[in-house]
Amino acid sequence: MRSAAFFGHRNYGYENFREKLREILTDLIENRSVTRFYNGFRGNFDVLCAEVVFELMQKKPSLENLLVLSYHPKADFRLPKYFSDSVYLLEKPVPPKFAIFHTNRLTVDRADFIVSGVVFHRGGAFSACEYARRQNKIILDLLS
């Protein structure tokens, strides 16, 4: 099973890239056999990606859109409608302030492709994409 993960910024306007994202995802599904998507659902980029994958799932229900949790869910946790399931990747405890950093790396490790919406050369999304480059992952840049 091939997979892709999303990394972009929390506070950036991505809405004008919806159609390009749909094209990238359709290519991943139809030409590169991607059936699983990992999404942290932490900001504007993640929400856009979740929405587009959800739309594609209506046509192809075999797709998995997984919400990647950086923290154990609380008792009242409700899976957002866009997702087929959630995953918690941390196998050992880490301090809360490092949970997202470690979760991002574990997500990169599991993904065959990275869809990047990185604009700024700082922050968690940038660090995750830099790590993906060092791991020789295929990175598809939404903004290029």
> What domains, with CATH codes, occur in the chain?
2-141 (3.40.50.450)
The CA distance from 60 to 140, in Å, is 22
Look at residue 115 in the predicted model and tell me its pLDDT: 98
Please report, for residues 67, 102, 108, 131, the alpha-carbon distance to residue 127 in angstroms, rounded to integers and kept in the order given: 20, 11, 11, 6
**In this prediction, what percent of the chain has a pLDDT beyond 90?**
92
In terms of phi and psi (left: phi > 0; alpha: psi -120 to 50; beta: otherwise), the region of 136 is left
Q: Read off the pLDDT of residues 86-119 as tens digits, 9 standing for 90 and up.
A: 999 999 989 999 999 999 999 999 999 999 999 9
Look at residue 110 in the predicted model and tell me its pLDDT: 98
pLDDT at 73 over 90: no
82 DSSP assignment = T
Look at residue 10 in the predicted model and tell me its pLDDT: 87
> Global pTM?
0.96
Confidence of residue 80 (pLDDT cuts 50, 70, 90): very high
Look at residue 38 in the predicted model and tell me its pLDDT: 98
Q: Residue for token digits 């940038």?
A: 126
Q: Read off the pLDDT of residues 34-61 as tens digits, 9 standing for 90 and up.
A: 999 999 999 999 999 999 999 999 999 9
